[in-house]
Amino acid sequence: MIKTLKELNLEDDYLFAKVMSDKEICKEFLEKLLDIEIERIEMPENQKTIDLLLESKGIRLDIYVKDENDTIYNVEMQRGKHRNLPKRLRYYQGNIDLDLIGKGDDYRKLSKSYIIFICTFDLFNKGRHRYTFETVCKEDNSIKLEDDTNKIILNTRGIIKDLSEELIEFLDYVEHSDDNVAEKAKGTLVKKIHKKVIEVKSDISMEVEFMTLLERDREKIEEGKLEEKLEIARNLLDVLDDETIARKTGLSIEEVKKLREKI
């Protein structure tokens, strides 16, 4: 079922990107999550795209910001059960690093980085709201590699009180971004976020943009389905007649004939 803009929760990519691209909200979230003070953050671009090689997969980042020390913060929303989430984290880290440094550059140009995945599922089924990963020595956990990479997985379904009440309120709000949850929140973070959510949902230009993106996504899906049908048809040209190919693929006879003419 396709949601309207007003039906979106913070877990939905569009609303998440719009809300978290507010510098003050993003800054407050990062400070409270990481227990640090940030003087300022810069947003190179909303939903930054990193395309390194023509043949590479490339990644589109929800929120990509850096602070006054050039520390990189990448915050992503992850819905549904992603079995390959650890490999996805590895891939994001590699792409971010390659985006930061060019061939022949000194490795000291690699900035400290945090990749933060906000998940609407418990990847490890341990009940934690937060799972933090750093590179440590297997033989002696007191030894850290000091490679300045940090990966954090937040879980909206946690049951252990391993975060501040305010951050747990935030994780509750992710899947239920409504007035009721916002009113019950005691901290400022959810209240600020909800104010921004209302602002986004009330903006006519945002609604037009959202509907345009939805239509674009539909077109891409349809293009993908058509290309798949065409590929199947190409593979059948040598063994079946046009009418049978059209019936099996759902293409028109005219489309099949055009494919045959190109052989």
**pLDDT tens-place string over residues 5-22:** 999 999 999 999 999 999
> How far apart, in whole angstroms, are the C-alpha atoms of residue 51 and residue 263?
34
- Do 26 and 116 sit in the same domain of this protein? yes
Position 59 scores a pLDDT of 56
- Do 254 and 126 sit in the same domain of this protein? no
- Do 149 and 111 sit in the same domain of this protein? yes
Position 55 scores a pLDDT of 44
Which one of 151, 182, 202 terminates a domain? 202
Quick one: which H or E segment has residue 198?
helix 188-202
Which one of 151, 180, 202 terminates a domain? 202
Instruction: Examine residue 123 and state whether it is found in any structural domain, yes or no.
Output: yes
- Do 182 and 243 sit in the same domain of this protein? no
Instruction: Examine residue 22 and state whether it is found in any structural domain, yes or no.
Output: yes
- Do 142 and 217 sit in the same domain of this protein? no
Instruction: Examine residue 19 and state whether it is found in any structural domain, yes or no.
Output: yes
Instruction: Examine residue 224 and state whether it is found in any structural domain, yes or no.
Output: yes
Residues of the chain with pLDDT under 50: 52-56, 58
Instruction: Examine residue 98 and state whether it is found in any structural domain, yes or no.
Output: yes
Strand 113-119 versus strand 149-155 pairing type: parallel
Contacts of 65 (CB under 8 A, 6+ apart): 23, 26, 30, 41, 42, 43, 44, 72, 73
Which one of 181, 202, 223 terminates a domain? 202
Instruction: Examine residue 239 and state whether it is found in any structural domain, yes or no.
Output: yes
- Do 151 and 227 sit in the same domain of this protein? no
Instruction: Examine residue 207 and state whether it is found in any structural domain, yes or no.
Output: no
Instruction: Give the angle subtended at the CA of 128 by the CAs of 29 and 153, to the nearest 5°.
Output: 50
Position 52 scores a pLDDT of 45
- Do 197 and 217 sit in the same domain of this protein? no
> How far apart, in whole angstroms, are the C-alpha atoms of residue 169 and residue 167?
5
- Do 175 and 241 sit in the same domain of this protein? no
The conformation of residue 125, written as its DSSP 8-state character, comes to: -
Position 105 scores a pLDDT of 85
- Do 219 and 192 sit in the same domain of this protein? no
Position 49 scores a pLDDT of 55
Position 26 scores a pLDDT of 96
- Do 143 and 168 sit in the same domain of this protein? yes
Q: Domain span at residue 235?
A: 213-261
> How far apart, in whole angstroms, are the C-alpha atoms of residue 62 and residue 59?
10
- Count the domains in the chain: 2
- Do 99 and 228 sit in the same domain of this protein? no
Residue pLDDT, tens place only, 158-184: 999 999 999 999 999 999 999 999 999
Contacts of 246 (CB under 8 A, 6+ apart): 252, 253, 255, 256
Instruction: Examine residue 208 and state whether it is found in any structural domain, yes or no.
Output: no
> How far apart, in whole angstroms, are the C-alpha atoms of residue 213 and residue 14?
9
- Do 175 and 254 sit in the same domain of this protein? no
